[in-house]
Amino acid sequence: MRVNMTVNGRPYEADDVWEGESLLYVLRERLGLPGSKNACEQGECGSCTVRLDGVPVCACLVAAGQAEGCEVVTVEGLADHARQRSGQVAPLAPVQQAFIDSGAVQCGFCTPGLLVAADELLERNPDPSDADIREALSGNLCRCTGYEKILDAVRLAAARTGEAV
Amino acid sequence: MDFLRPAGWEEALAAKAEHPTAVPIAGGTDVMVEINFDHRRPEYLLDLTRVAELAEWEATDRTVRLGAGVPYTRIIEELRTELPGLALAAHTVGSPQIRNRGTVGGNLGAASPAGDAHPALLAAGAEVEVASVRGTRLIPVEEFFTGVKRHALEPDELIRAVHIRRADGPQQFSKVGTRNAMVIAVCAFAVALHPRTRTVRTGIGSAAPTPVRAHEAEEFLGAALEEGGFWDSGAPLEPSAVRRFAELCAGACRPIDDVRGTAAYRRRAVGVMARRTLGWTWQAYREGEGRTAPCA
Ligand SMILES: Cc1cc2nc3c(=O)[nH]c(=O)nc-3n(C[C@H](O)[C@H](O)[C@H](O)COP(=O)(O)OP(=O)(O)OC[C@H]3O[C@@H](n4cnc5c(N)ncnc54)[C@H](O)[C@@H]3O)c2cc1C
Ligand code: FES
Ligand code: FES
């Protein structure tokens, strides 16, 4: 079947999509957007997290056909998305810069999903408590960092965004 | 495989009547796992996410009619007051990503003994509204589960909504697992005080082939509260009555040993959760908090 969707502000059309295929597969294998990672394919790890009509979801658990006509934001579009929100010109979204500056990236496999989830948290709640951060990221597993640097990064991004306003 | 995408409820029912083997997909958090792992290759997938009615809820005097497709996140945000037990249970499901997609209709459709909505529905009092082109019927939630991952739907039926009694007293939900997020319950327990009818109802998850109520425990406690005038006095509960209630709840379990825990552990844990959640709800009742039960 054919599936149409808007990804990171651009219209896409995918052909010959198998009906049981996931949105994650379509993004990675058909639309050339491999930023969202495929690790577990069962909703456990969050490395495939994207925004579907604004809502963070595991792309591995969305049937491609369910995304027909929807707006998807992946890590590839996160910087643009953040720029539109803030009106500021920066090459990276504040969470992306903060992950780099805090040393929150090791192997990087979990990073795209964490960035999408963390960015959505800060959009909703610009001044999150530690409990808010833990809860928002509780569906994203990282096997390298031990999470402390990730929490640091989200706090840093929140602080910087707060200063900029 | 074919992907059916009805735009409305009547169209969905017609599609299910025409293709009774079609597998409905709502949030996909159960269905997609099965497809990704090749455990299921349905001939037809019936996408229900375009059916706007399913994503709505409405409250009347005594009940909330919760559309089968309302995701957990919205239950937590919008229905905390009306359905505190279900909102607490919803908050323990998976992760934010799972709660943003997963639905009570899907939980019922999967009919897992470990589904977290089920104990909360049993304790609150609920009926499942199912429909087909032949018509609509209401199934008491107690009768909905017919076996492990089996339910009372006919092949041409879909779940339209769940009619849940609005809380008229404190409710609690408790779940045992290895961490806060992302765990299938080792076992779970829900309790609801119903001061209006002067009854207590319970729900036990993951400790029998289906979710069950602890009927004997409910009757015992109901009688003890009534006879002792506790509903009026709001006096502290007798420790012996609380103990007995917990024992009867544990006794209502028919658990098995599996990878998540042993039968003996489950029985014991259900007793402990019964004692604690009763303590919390009774405390809330005494403090006159009425419907807003505290978080665990
Ligand atoms: C990582 C992860 C963590 C999870 N954690 C939990 C947890 O903590 N607690 C818990 O209870 N569950 C958990 N689950 C399971 C799942 O999220 C829940 O069962 C959820 O409620 C399913 O809802 P859904 O809308 O995604 O269902 P779907 O996957 O879309 O459907 C589930 C079943 O219901 C049927 N169905 C759906 N809608 C209807 C309808 N309207 N009429 C008839 N049949 C229908 C489908 O055909 C299918 O058989 C988890 C799943 C994952 C992947
Ligand atoms: S790949 Fe989707 S959650 Fe792990
Ligand atoms: S950095 Fe390796 S999994 Fe998180």
| CATH number of the structural domain spanning residue A155 | 1.10.150.120
Say whether both A42 and A91 belong to one domain.
no
A144 at B interface, C-beta within 8 A = no
pLDDT number for residue B288: 86
A49 at B interface, C-beta within 8 A = yes
**Mean pLDDT on A43-69:** 98
Q: Give start and end residues of each alpha helix (H) in B102-211.
A: 104-110, 117-124, 141-144
pLDDT number for residue A153: 98
B38 at A interface, C-beta within 8 A = no
Residue A73: pLDDT over 90: yes
pLDDT number for residue A89: 87
Strand partners, B138: B129
pLDDT number for residue A88: 86
Residue with tokens 């957990």: B72
Q: Nearest residue of B to residue A132 by CA position?
A: B96
Indicate which CATH number applies to the domain containing A24: 3.10.20.30
A42 located within any domain: yes
Say whether both A64 and A92 belong to one domain.
no
Say whether both A52 and A107 belong to one domain.
no
Residue with tokens 């640097």: A149
Q: What's the rounded Cα separation, in Å, for the pair B268 and B40?
A: 36
For the stretch B206-231, pLDDT in tens is 999 999 999 999 999 999 999 999 99
* Contact list, B52 vs chain A (CB under 8 Å): none
More confident residue, B181 or A110: A110
Q: What's the rounded Cα separation, in Å, for the pair B128 and B105?
A: 9
Say whether both A50 and A11 belong to one domain.
yes
Residue A165 confidence class, pLDDT cut points 50, 70, 90: low
Say whether both A123 and A150 belong to one domain.
yes
Cα–Cα–Cα angle for B65, B22, B148, rounded to 5 degrees: 70
How many domains does chain A divide into? 2
Say whether both A96 and A160 belong to one domain.
yes
Lowest mean pLDDT among A89-93, A98-102, A161-165, B123-127: A161-165
Q: What's the rounded Cα separation, in Å, for the pair A120 and A81?
A: 10
pLDDT number for residue B294: 43
Containing domain of residue A33, as a range? 3-76
pLDDT number for residue A137: 98
Please report how many Cα atoms fall inside a 13 Å half-sphere around the Cα of residue B19, on the Cβ side. 17
**Domain B171-286 superfamily per CATH:** CO dehydrogenase flavoprotein, C-terminal domain (3.30.390.50)
Residue A158: pLDDT over 60: yes
Residue A46: pLDDT over 60: yes
Please judge whether A138 and B27 are an interchain contact, meaning their C-beta atoms are less than 8 angstroms apart. Answer: no
Say whether both A63 and A93 belong to one domain.
no
Going from the C-alpha of B149 to that of each of A159, B108, B159, B167, B211, the distances in angstroms are: 47, 9, 15, 28, 10
Q: Which ligand is nearest to the CA of B72?
A: 1
Query: For residue B241, how many other CB atoms are within 10 A of its CB?
Result: 17
Say whether both A60 and A95 belong to one domain.
no
Interface test with A, best of B36, B47, B48, B184 (most A CBs within 10 A): B36
pLDDT number for residue B289: 57
**How would you label A115-134 residue by residue, b for 16+ Cβ within 10 Å and e otherwise?**
bbbbbbbbeeeeebeeeebe
C-alpha distance from B101 to closest chain A C-alpha (Å): 7
- The residue from A44, A76, A108 where one domain ends is A76
Within its chain, how far is the Cα of A26 from the centroid?
16
pLDDT number for residue B11: 98
A140 located within any domain: yes
**Mean pLDDT on A87-98:** 94
Ranges under pLDDT 70 in chain B: 289-296
pTM confidence score: 0.96
Which of A57, A66, A138 is the closest to B181 by Cβ?
A138
A121 located within any domain: yes
Residue A76 confidence class, pLDDT cut points 50, 70, 90: very high
Check if the interface score ipTM surpasses 0.85: yes
